[in-house]
């Protein structure tokens, strides 16, 4: 299975919105609503931010939202804050396995 | 609060078998609502799903690693384990144990802190 494609980096000023894309195929993102998003600050374990495309676990701010269109899923961070600076990874179910995205570094300017 | 803790050798020789154990505390590994898994991250790179297991022993593996991976569970000790055979330098990574909610490929809602395994002679 191939890794899902994410942009290497995105950036924004505090208060702005940024969107991270996660592009797969009709064999993964396009066929299943089993997309998750994770936030990973440097040197720490990932944290679940979104599951099943658009659901937020308890405790995750509503500034984080997820969506999907065709073979591409997206994570939007609204009202960007300094604490949001981290690496972000998507994941999707595919053929009795799970694929992760290539990762995106979010920089708060 | 549920916590996961990885343990095992930090250094493994090429061609040998990597063995790690994850101890679950603050909850039961026999819960019907969850699966348990392993995910790794090579230095400076992205995440890779290794596989997952249900408390009953049902296993699910990444096809690219399936021939070398064994995941097992010991409900009496509230632990699950990973064995990866015939390791090479490419298996050097931080290995995370994880809890998956609802299905063997679901979102990981609890992560261990991770343990670094280096493959080197």
Query: What is the per-residue pLDDT across A37-92, written as a single tens digit (0 to 9) for each?
Result: 999 999 999 999 999 999 999 999 999 999 999 999 999 999 999 999 999 999 99
- Quick check: A93 and B47 CB within 8 A? no
- Quick check: A36 and B46 CB within 8 A? no
What pLDDT is stored for residue B41 in this prediction?
98
Determine the residue of chain B that is closest to A55 in CA distance: B107
Q: Report residues of chain B scoring pLDDT below 70.
A: none
How many cross-chain Cβ pairs, A to B, lie less than 8 Å apart?
A: 59
| Nearest CA-CA distance, residue A48 and chain B, Å | 6
Cβ of residue A58 closer than 8 Å to a chain B Cβ: no
Task: Read off the tokens for A8.
Answer: 């290497």
Cβ of residue A3 closer than 8 Å to a chain B Cβ: yes
């Amino acid at each position: 299975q191939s890794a899902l494609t994410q942009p290497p980096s995105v950036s924004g000023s505090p208060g702005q919105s940024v969107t991270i894309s996660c592009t797969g195929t009709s064999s993964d993102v396009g066929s299943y609503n089993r997309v998750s998003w994770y936030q990973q600050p440097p040197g720490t374990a990932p944290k679940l931010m979104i599951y099943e495309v658009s659901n937020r676990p308890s405790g995750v701010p509503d500034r984080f939202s997820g969506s999907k269109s065709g073979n591409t899923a997206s994570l939007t961070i609204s009202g960007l804050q300094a604490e949001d600076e981290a690496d972000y990874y998507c994941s999707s179910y595919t053929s009795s396995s799970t694929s992760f995205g290539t990762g995106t570094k979010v920089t708060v300017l | 609060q549920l916590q996961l803790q990885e343990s095992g050798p930090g250094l493994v020789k090429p061609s040998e078998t990597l063995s790690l154990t994850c101890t679950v505390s603050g909850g039961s590994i026999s819960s019907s609502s969850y699966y348990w898994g392993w995910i790794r991250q090579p230095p400076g790179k992205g995440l890779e799903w290794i596989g997952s297991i249900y408390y009953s022993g049902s296993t699910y593996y990444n096809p690219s690693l399936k021939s070398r991976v064994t995941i097992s569970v010991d409900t009496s000790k509230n632990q699950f384990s990973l064995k990866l055979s015939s390791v090479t330098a490419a298996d050097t990574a931080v290995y995370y144990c994880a809890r998956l909610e609802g299905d063997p490929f679901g979102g990981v809602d609890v992560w261990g802190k991770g343990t670094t395994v280096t493959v080197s002679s």
